[in-house]
Amino acid sequence: MKPLRFLLGVACWLALAGAFSAVRAADAAAPAAPAAPTSEERIAALEAYINNGDPGKSLTGVAGPGHNAWMMTSAALVLFMTLPGLALFYGGLVRKKNVLSVLAQCLGITGLVTILWWAFGYSLVFGTSYGSAFFGGSEYFFLKDVTSAPNTNYAYWVSQNVFSMYQMMFAIITPALIVGAIAERMKFSAILIFVTVWMFVVYFPLAHMVWGANGFMNGVWNGEAKIPAIDFAGGTVVHMSSGWSALILCMILGPRLGFGKEKMAPHSMVLCMVGTGMLWVGWYGFNAGSAVAADGVAANAFMTTTLATAVAAFTWGMLEKITRGHASVLGFCSGAVAGLVVITPACGFVNSTGSVIIGVLAGVIPFLACTKLKSMFKYDDALDTFGVHAVGGTLGALVTGFLATSSVNANLVGAPATKNGLAALVTNGGLWLAQLKAIGLTLVLSVVATVIIAFILKAIIGLRPTAEVEQQGLDITEHGEEGYIA
């Protein structure tokens, strides 16, 4: 209990400090009167709104209603992926006695990460004041100066407060994905502390590297990027980071009591399927929303996401039918999620053919990881976070390097991309090498950081509940409730 109390104390302190600095900011704001724009400039600004471009002299600091509307919708959709999509997808897959523990972990992470994001996270990812390719800045701590005006480093027409909330939903679902590997056997307090540290060590730096205006691996938007890699909606940041960390954490944690001896079948495939459907729907916000505009790139991502997911779900199901004689609901669900994961880094860069190829690969390779690899090495990745998200995320990041084309996204050969070498890689081939470097960096950061955090936590507070608690189930012991009465 003590670490939790400490966390709460820190949270209260942060709340006070943040409120104070926000009040100060309001006092300091003093708007200056701009010179009146000409008619030409006003028309140019309206055209820029349609083209999702720079408004120039008129309409600066104003959010575009259409783009803003789509991004608010997308933010809600991505939250819907975690609550209740992922919660039900995972919740259905555990045993009856642990269903609430999974829901509580998803809810707890949502609240915790929101506080971290407000206080430091957004600024560390999307700020630039440190002038570093690895860490953002301190200018937006406590969401100071994050208003309805756009931050033109990231979007000309989307309010920065909307952009910030949209990106926060990614920060929420990423650690929530890890829950799948360690389900049914980790202390709630240990999970919250692990996630807190992990966000600062892995997620915030990685998200800055990939999406930050001066990020190390932001090939599309940072002309100075040392690794000109591309990741449209988070194949490395979200799925690789969570998936590889999940594998390491579940190995350090050890298998569930009775693993391989007792029956640990899903307690409700119905809930699991309902959750899968919600994930799929929510993922449109995740992928098409990652255009940060309601533009043609978003439209392309919407199509590729649909194609890859449907193809992967069908492929996984048919593989089961051929190899085992039954196409299972869990097979279709796993294929759908794998398809969504693999298309994530690619969705805004590939065309319809590329997305169908990705769908087939997503149906085959994660299928082999979940069915063959896991039984070969006997790690207890309870709900296959590694098999689906790490393997799928890595696969997606790599194939994006082969299938990305500037015909669907001109930004691949835009000004920053020309400067850092991305444009040449896209045109002449060889992008996969940059992708491989991004994969390597993500993998090493996730694995090393997780090993260190997990061993320190294990030594200080312990990661697992007692055997008796685990046997009884985490619902009653950790949360004082039961999922199903009678």
Binding site for another protein (CB under 8 A): 93, 263-266, 324, 326, 328, 330-331, 334, 370-372, 374-375, 384, 387
Distance in angstroms (rounded) separating the CA atoms of residues 97 and 475: 6
DSSP-derived secondary structure for 103-142: HHHHHHHHHHHHHHIIIIIHHHHH--TT--SS---STTGG
**Helical pair 391-403 and 241-253, crossing angle rounded to 10 deg:** 160
What is the nearest approach in angstroms of another protein to the Cβ of residue 320? 8
Q: Which residue's CB is nearer to another protein, number 94 or number 119?
A: 94
What is the nearest approach in angstroms of another protein to the Cβ of residue 368? 10
Q: Which residue's CB is nearer to another protein, number 168 or number 382?
A: 382
CA angle 424, 425, 428 (to 5 degrees): 75
Q: Which residue's CB is nearer to another protein, number 310 or number 373?
A: 373
Residue 125 contacts residue 208 (beta carbons within 8 Å): yes
Q: Which residue's CB is nearer to another protein, number 148 or number 375?
A: 375
User: Measured over all CA atoms, what is the biggest interatomic distance in the chain, rounded to whole angstroms?
Assistant: 77
H or E element that contains 41: helix 39-51
Measured CA distances, 130 to 140, 367, 386 (Å)? 12, 43, 33
- Residue 184: CB atoms within 10 A of its CB come to 22
What is the nearest approach in angstroms of another protein to the Cβ of residue 330? 5
What is the nearest approach in angstroms of another protein to the Cβ of residue 315? 15
Taken in order 470, 471, 475, 476, is the CA torsion positive or negative?
Answer: negative
Q: Which residue's CB is nearer to another protein, number 93 or number 220?
A: 93
CA angle 134, 348, 396 (to 5 degrees): 70
Q: Which residue's CB is nearer to another protein, number 265 or number 459?
A: 265
Calculate the dihedral angle through the C-alpha atoms of 61, 66, 69, 71, rounding to the nearest 10 degrees.
Answer: -70
What is the nearest approach in angstroms of another protein to the Cβ of residue 461? 30
Q: Which residue has the tokens 């969570």?
A: 242
Tokens matching residue 91: 């919740």
Backbone angles phi, psi at 159, to 5 degrees: -55, 140
What is the nearest approach in angstroms of another protein to the Cβ of residue 326? 8
Distance in angstroms (rounded) separating the CA atoms of residues 267 and 7: 33
What is the nearest approach in angstroms of another protein to the Cβ of residue 386? 12
Q: Which residue's CB is nearer to another protein, number 92 or number 212?
A: 92
What is the nearest approach in angstroms of another protein to the Cβ of residue 328? 7
What is the nearest approach in angstroms of another protein to the Cβ of residue 347? 25
Q: Which residue's CB is nearer to another protein, number 329 or number 447?
A: 329
Q: Which residue's CB is nearer to another protein, number 375 or number 466?
A: 375
What is the nearest approach in angstroms of another protein to the Cβ of residue 387? 8
Q: Which residue's CB is nearer to another protein, number 77 or number 319?
A: 319
Q: Which residue's CB is nearer to another protein, number 95 or number 187?
A: 95
What is the nearest approach in angstroms of another protein to the Cβ of residue 381? 10
Q: Which residue has the tokens 């993500």?
A: 442
Q: Which residue's CB is nearer to another protein, number 237 or number 337?
A: 337
218: left (phi over 0), alpha (psi -120 to 50) or beta: beta
Backbone angles phi, psi at 10, to 5 degrees: -60, -45
What is the nearest approach in angstroms of another protein to the Cβ of residue 307? 24
Report the Cα 468 to chain-centroid distance in Å: 35
Question: Cis before residue 84, ω within 30 degrees of 0?
Answer: yes
Distance in angstroms (rounded) separating the CA atoms of residues 308 and 337: 10
DSSP H helical ranges for 325-463: 329-343, 352-368, 374-377, 385, 391-403, 415-420, 422-428, 431-460
Name the amino acid, one letter, at 218.
N
Residue 65 contacts residue 49 (beta carbons within 8 Å): no
